Amino acid sequence: MKQKQYNKVLIFGILLLFIVACQNTYNPKQKAYNRFDLPDHRYQNTPDSLPYFFEFSQHADLLNDSSWISDKYWVEIYYKELKANIHITYKEISSEKELKELLNDAYYLTSKHQIKAHGINDILLTTPSGKTVSIAEIEGDVPSQFQFFTTDSTKNFLRGALYFNTQVANDSLQPSIAYVKKDIIHMVNTLEWKH
């Protein structure tokens, strides 16, 4: 008899536990999207120590390139809030052969994204000062969504690539990508060689 009572008390206790534990109602989380509070576009000048000039965002820092292959006039335009970098590489051209190598490298570095890219849109832009800029907009979950280069074909070659240091998918980054693209277009439109 005691065993029956014990079993009844145990079953009652388990049922009571389920009833008490299940009283909280479950509320599913709402869908969430990344929130970007993007500031107005404002610009500042590059320092005089560089052999080129352009205006870049006041919301970014101009840093020396810290990679192991960096060269003297390579810089990074770093957007802390967006976790984005624009890597700028610059070379002074000394021969036609060197120019061809730089052009081949620029096209090769862009083509490396074809594995993950949905598409690469090549655009030629003519700046107000008459420079031609080759722009590659890369669609898909790729490391670099926007790349460009320009040269005067005799002395100067400048290349840039946009990278985001985040695990967020590129479709979620679209507002930030569009924001930085606008800054890059302003940058190349204000580019001048100092030599």
Query: Which pLDDT does position 149 carry in this prediction?
Result: 94
Q: What digits encode the pLDDT tens for the residues 71-103?
A: 889 999 999 999 999 999 999 999 999 999 999
Query: Which pLDDT does position 57 carry in this prediction?
Result: 97
> Looking up tokens 């009833």, which residue turns up?
19
Q: What digits encode the pLDDT tens for the residues 132-182?
A: 999 988 887 788 889 999 999 899 999 999 998 877 677 778 889 899 999
In the predicted model, what is the mean pLDDT of residues 102-110? Answer: 87
In the predicted model, what is the mean pLDDT of residues 49-66? Answer: 94
Query: Which pLDDT does position 109 carry in this prediction?
Result: 83
Query: Which pLDDT does position 69 carry in this prediction?
Result: 82
Between residues 136 and 43, the one the model is more confident about = 43
Query: Which pLDDT does position 21 carry in this prediction?
Result: 65
Query: Which pLDDT does position 23 carry in this prediction?
Result: 56
Q: What digits encode the pLDDT tens for the residues 3-34?
A: 777 777 777 777 766 676 655 565 665 555 55
- Report the topology of domain 50-193: Protein Transport Mog1p; Chain A (3.40.1000)
